Amino acid sequence: MKAEWRLFGFLTAFVAAVTPLYAWWTHNQTGGVEWVGTVALILTGMLCLMCAGFFLIVTRRIDPRPEDRPDAEIVEGAGELGFFSPGSYWPFGVALSAFVTALGMVYMQIWLIAAGIGAVLLSTGGLLFEYYTGSRRAEH
């Protein structure tokens, strides 16, 4: 996890350095600061900082992974990487629900927004608990 927090730390530093430069540049070009881009850069920096902090905390809590150690062998990284669903229709439901919600926002239809948010919650729950209930339940 060393590489991850260093990468996000570098991105945070870069965005923090570019943001005042961008604000100064737009102020000189247009006579006023372009606030949408400036705020977007500030929020991007905060998001990168949040990711860097998360990876830094996780790095300190877990043992070093093979890719973090210079003396590691390739074979140490072999093995199971996790469980990946072989086929699921829930992501389609989540995307369709998000589309309905966005469509409601475009046309400012409160009932469509509410229906879309409800569908997003239901489909996200279905995706989350897909392997805990029903015929796909994993027996331990």
Q: What is the mean pLDDT of residues 78-98?
A: 88
Please tell me the distance from the alpha carbon of residue 12 to that of residue 42, in angstroms, as a whole number: 10
pLDDT at 69: 87
* pLDDT confidence of residue 4: 93
pTM: 0.61
Q: What is the pLDDT of residue 81?
A: 78
Determine the Cα angle at 119 with ends 113 and 122, to 5°.
Answer: 145
**Banded pLDDT at 63 (limits 50, 70, 90):** confident
Helix (H, G, I), strand (E, B) or coil at 81: coil
C-alpha 61/C-alpha 97 separation (Å) is 37
Average per-residue pLDDT in the chain?
92
Instruction: Read off the pLDDT of residues 93-135 as tens digits, 9 standing for 90 and up.
Output: 999 999 999 999 999 999 999 999 999 999 999 999 888 877 7
- Give the model's pLDDT for residue 1: 76
pLDDT value of residue 64? 86
Position 139 scores a pLDDT of 65
Contact (CB, 8 A) for 14 and 41 = no
DSSP state of 63: P
Per-residue confidence band for 140, with pLDDT thresholds at 50, 70 and 90: low
3-state secondary structure of 26: helix
Residue 3 has pLDDT above 60, yes or no: yes
Alpha carbons 131 and 133: distance in angstroms, whole number: 6
Is the Cβ–Cβ distance between 92 and 47 less than 8 Å?
Answer: no
